[in-house]
Chains A and B, each alone.
Chain A
């Protein structure tokens, strides 16, 4: 199977850089890349140097793996990810994660920036994802993920690890910043939503909306990893009054919230 060989080749290249076996994989989304600087004994490997890795073209996504440790826990951090809206298929989006799992990761913490739908959410608040709604469209499902036909069993507790959710929320309380759990809606993008779309997504039970994460979480679950997804609310959807959203505002808000995400990441990794 070609894909399995590709994963092996990529994993081998990462190991050859002198990285140890990770236990936790962290995907650092828009504006949240700075966390990788906290890793000790860090070795950075650019995606461009790893066979079969997709190249990131998205704003504020650096495009490299950083392997190191936080305390005693070995971590592999993806600084930069690729998205459906860039034209990638789910198999390409999830390839790096599969490599991280091959290297030994058994917990995934994924972060992203999102638009707030729930009116109780303000900019820079953290939403701990407890469920998602996949509206990313046919491209998210069309491509076969892999030749692996093992059935991804339906977990009664869903994709997101309950203990990690509770841990994240307790960190927020302890550090004194607002965080709640809720539902992430995935849309392909790349345009931001119309007001009618914001109303629709809120109506169907979405708390935040974004353009990533779901493909990675699905793959992680298939591979048996525990998952935690953290969403930084950047822009707040204005369903009636016309408000323009710009990517610069989104990145800036995510940057401002990065310390909050950092504190949760540290706790989740220690738990890993």
Chain B
């Protein structure tokens, strides 16, 4: 992992040439947050291809750029387009941008994802504020020699998602009449969706929703000392006794419908960040 330090420095160097700002928050614009970029007063925008050691986005729908600017006055840096383990990328590369955000000065990380809902109290279109997670991806971005300059060998994970940020998000949700739960996200590698037996298993072990991302970024965020708030959009319900085949059009429609709500939550959480 010792080469990571140099990679971070090189990436930071290129970004700094184009943007002198110091971000308070790093935002990974996963599913449901893509539109947030329209609310950012963009001061600089870099294609991933311009940044050393950043992965290139190959999926047609993914932009693949880093957006630097201000969100309601708060300096932020946003990843438009993220990468997944199921695409075959090593986790250290998937999560490098998180370390770069930290190196640029970020203090908190906002992540979002699309997920299958398993808790029977949830509905498609609901948002779950991630309270905790289970890593079933079969891999970990911290495996390797630890670079003590980046973080500790054995990070504690008893509270990876910041309690205060969770409370803030839930308060904003209640205020804005948005249905928001708090619960446990289980990450699997994917890319296939799960069988009924797997949904029963995942529910049994204590998860409320399941998805194929986010956990690697959160593990790295905890490692390097970022506060984290995470949001899962329940794009479809996965109840094993009444499982419907996944309908991609429906899933996308649900994600789009939830987008304004998620944006409101992120805005609300960041609005309460003290401006230094």
Contacts and interface: CB of A to CB of B under 8 A. Distances in A.
Interface in B134-150: 134-135, 137-140, 142-146
A52 interface: no
A138 interface: yes
Interface secondary structure of B, over-half rule:
loop
Nearest to B132: A196
A13 interface: no
A266 interface: no
Contact of B146 (A190, A195, A242): A190
A193 interface: yes
B143 A200 contact: no
B133 A190 contact: no
B134 A85 contact: no
B3 to A, nearest CB: 12
Nearest to B207: A196
B201 to A, nearest CB: 9
Is chain A's interface secondary structure helix, strand, loop, or mixed overall? loop
B158 A196 contact: no
B167 to A, nearest CB: 14
Contact of B158 (A57, A59, A195): A195
Nearest to A246: B156
Interface of B: 1, 132-135, 137-140, 142-146, 152-160, 184, 204-207, 219, 222-223
A191 B145 contact: no
B133 A191 contact: no
Contacts of A245: 154, 156, 158
B205 A57 contact: no
28 contacts: A85-B143, A87-B143, A87-B144, A137-B139, A138-B139, A139-B139, A188-B139, A189-B142, A190-B143, A191-B155, A191-B156, A191-B157, A191-B219, A194-B135, A194-B160, A195-B132, A196-B132, A196-B184, A196-B206, A200-B134, A200-B206, A203-B204, A203-B205, A238-B158, A244-B156, A245-B154, A246-B156, A247-B153
A58 to B, nearest CB: 8
Contacts of A250: 154
Interface string A162-192: 0000000000000000000000000011111
Nearest to B158: A242
A38 interface: no
Given A189-B140, A191-B140, 17 more contacts: A59-B153, A86-B144, A86-B145, A87-B1, A87-B145, A138-B139, A190-B143, A191-B222, A192-B157, A194-B134, A195-B158, A195-B159, A196-B133, A196-B206, A197-B133, A197-B135, A250-B154
Contacts of A137: 137-140
B142 A85 contact: yes
Contact of B223 (A59, A191, A195): A191
A25 to B, nearest CB: 26
Nearest to B144: A87
B154 A191 contact: yes
Interface of A: 57, 59, 84-87, 137-139, 188-197, 199-200, 203-204, 238, 242-247, 250
A190 B132 contact: no
A85 B140 contact: yes
A242 B159 contact: yes
B140 A247 contact: no
A119 to B, nearest CB: 16
Nearest to B153: A190
Contacts of B156: 191-192, 244-246
A244 B223 CA distance: 14
Contacts of A86: 143-145
A247 B142 CA distance: 16
Q: Interface centre among B143, B159, B207, by most A CB within 10 Å? A: B143
Given A191-B223, A192-B155, A84 B138 contact: no
Contacts of A204: 205
Contacts of B159: 195, 242
A206 B153 CA distance: 24
Contacts of A189: 140, 142, 154
Contacts of B145: 57, 86-87
A192 B154 contact: yes
